Structure 1
Amino acid sequence: MGLFSSPQRVIRAVLVSQVVMGLAIVGVDLMRAPGNPAPGLFNPATEGPNVRPYRPDLRPSDPSRPDTPAMRPMPSALEFEEEDDTIRITGQIAPGDADRFVEWLERSRPQASQVMLDSSGGSVSDALAIGRTIRSASYATRIEDGAVCLSACPYILAGGTLRQVADGGIVGVHQHYFGKNTILPAFMAVADVQRAQASVMDYLVQMGVDLRLMPLALRTPPEDINILTMDQMRDLNLILDQPATG
């Protein structure tokens, strides 16, 4: 199925998911006592080889490969490093990291052709901005063997003009966390979620990624992560062997 095949179907699914999400937020707020952390908004089947618990502060190991490292700490903010013709971006995506990346590029002026990612995700808006910076610089993106790209990180991956994932790389998506549990913020959160999802959809279209990625994320609660297969990533154009032009 191509990038723009049945776009109405995809958009309808996303809109329905947002309505359900809004009702769930309000319902949870009405039934729960204040002060407790918000649970996942959907309750899909979270068992199976592709869904596992999500810990943003740790890199998960690959259970199908016993030779991979066990859980390892993940830096609390992105770290940038140049190595040969490669920029390495490692860590959780903290608010302000997009500006820090631009400042690092201006200061370091790397002679690089690709960006290697190893990130458990974080700030969506920063991920989108970093992805746009990568696209404007015409960098390729890559997830190497043993690295992860989870939550918001796949949006950075999507910024590459070429996008590669090694056999031992792990890429995963899920719902994003929407915050506090009082009624007023809940109603505000619904509008915020809709605006955020629209921004993400616009971004994916600009980067040439199939919008069918969105339902895969929206069906997975924020405390879990849906690990994408190589076939899924190729089908969704998240892996891209021919240069993107957008």
Structure 2
Amino acid sequence: MVPQRSPFLSRRLLAAAFAALCALALAACGRDPQAPPAAAVTLGSQNEMPKPAPAAVSEEDILKGTYWPPAKLDGGSARISCEYDYPRFGDGDTLESLDFFSLVDAMSPCQQRGVVRVRYQGKIGAGFTALTQRVAAMAARMEIPTRILDIDSSGGHVEEALRAGDSIAESGWAIWVRENSVCHSACVLVLAAGDTRSIEGKVGIHRLMRDRSTATSRAELSRELRAINQQVRDYLERNGVATAVSDLMMTVANRDLRILTPDELKQYGLDGTNAAQDDLDRIRLARKCGDDFVRRRESFRRAFDAQCMGTGKSFESMPECAEQLQAQFGFPDKTCPGESPADLYARDLPPPLLDEAAAGEGAAEPADGKPAGAAGKNEPPAKADKAAK
């Protein structure tokens, strides 16, 4: 009796035979049976190979061009001024857009003056970061050396404050917290990044939280806080601010606020010249002009602070006062004439705000309607103009 074959087995045998025949046919043509068809490895034509993915473009490189990605101030407002003296001249025009040509229009009047002041009021967020980056990029194009961030902020996103601060630290900003303004919470991180800081308003700190915490227990919250605290400590250290500020923040509940006293601001390195930037400038000058030059320049600066920056001294008198001190400390220096401190102060301080003819008539009306009077509490503090350096 002839055994019956399973139909399923027959189909398997036929499929195996067919696969073997296909493999033999491919081999006869010199083709690898595992090779994918040509269409799978070419793009556009049989001779074109796949192109590597383009490298990521940095924000700095993007801002060197004229097409800037869309960005907007999402938590505050900004005004652009070319003047130091806000009681007399106000805060300038509102910046309506962060696109390239809006910045060109807003900042072009500041080219001749060499000063741009950004009055920002609002939260620290992505829009604020874009604002500082784009104003600095345009100031570099227009060769505007003095950039002032005149800030009034109750805080915002910690991560954006760190991003904005790192950008500010690399682009030569002075930061003002003027009278009736505040700088609280994450804003303190921005303040830390300035080359110089001039504070008349209130600076307050409390515990910093991640923008989007996922903690569900104290242990998880502790790990998150430890991580952000380490980031903040590293950031403060590279910006010449005492890391004790970060530790002090951890002791103040997020719903509370600790206002720092003037003595604490000085002690922690948040007011006046940025210690890290000062060291960097000293290293650069010593390399270029020698150690003796640096020592004499430091002595000059101390004398300038005592004699030219006292209470009641006008802005316009500072360059003249600096020039009178030069000879006492051996300036201008023959080996480094361009680095003489009187030249630096004269370059970085504003020229007279009004000439004699304009002073008698046609004086500018301030934007807030207040009379332009003599020096007083409403006049920008003398140290604020030093901060413009």
Q: Same fold (TM over 0.5)?
A: yes
Corresponding position of 1:83: 81
Measure how far apart 1:188 and its partner are: 4.4
Corresponding position of 1:20: none
Corresponding position of 1:239: 271
Which of structures 1 and 2 has the larger relative contact order (alpha carbons within 8 angstroms, sep 6+)? 1
Taking the aligned partners of 2:134 and 2:226, their CA distance within structure 1 comes to: 30
Aligned amino acid, residue 87 of structure 1? V
1:173/1:225 contact within 8 Å kept: yes
1:99-119 per-position Cα deviation (integer Å, ceiling 9, x unaligned): 354245446767343211100
2:207/2:254 contact within 8 Å kept: yes
Corresponding position of 2:240: 208
Q: Counterpart of 1:141 in 2: which secondary structure?
A: strand
Taking the aligned partners of 1:145 and 1:95, their CA distance within structure 2 comes to: 26
**What is the percent sequence identity of the aligned residues?**
26
Measure how far apart 1:182 and its partner are: 3.2
1:120-154 per-position Cα deviation (integer Å, ceiling 9, x unaligned): 00101111111111111111111101100000001
Q: Counterpart of 2:257 in 1: which secondary structure?
A: strand
More strand per residue: 1 or 2? 1
Taking the aligned partners of 1:90 and 1:211, their CA distance within structure 2 comes to: 27
Taking the aligned partners of 1:242 and 1:97, their CA distance within structure 2 comes to: 22
Name the CA shift for 1:177/1:135 in 2 (closer, same or farther; >3 Å). Answer: closer
Corresponding position of 1:162: 196
Taking the aligned partners of 2:274 and 2:208, their CA distance within structure 1 comes to: 30
**TM-score, reference length from structure 2:** 0.39
- Any unmatched runs of 5+ in structure 2? 1-72, 83-114, 281-389
Taking the aligned partners of 1:119 and 1:79, their CA distance within structure 2 comes to: 11
Taking the aligned partners of 1:82 and 1:191, their CA distance within structure 2 comes to: 41
1:80/1:104 contact within 8 Å kept: no
2:158/2:209 contact within 8 Å kept: no
Corresponding position of 2:259: 227
Aligned amino acid, residue 236 of structure 1? Y
Corresponding position of 1:143: 177
Structure showing greater Rg: 2
1:116/1:143 contact within 8 Å kept: yes
Indicate yes or no: 2:152 matched with 1:152.
Answer: no
Q: How does 1:6-25 map to 2 (within 5 A)?
A: none
Name the CA shift for 1:126/1:242 in 2 (closer, same or farther; >3 Å). Answer: closer
Indicate yes or no: 2:201 matched with 1:131.
Answer: no
Equivalenced residue count is 168
Taking the aligned partners of 1:137 and 1:154, their CA distance within structure 2 comes to: 18
- Any unmatched runs of 5+ in structure 1? 1-74
**TM-score, reference length from structure 1:** 0.60
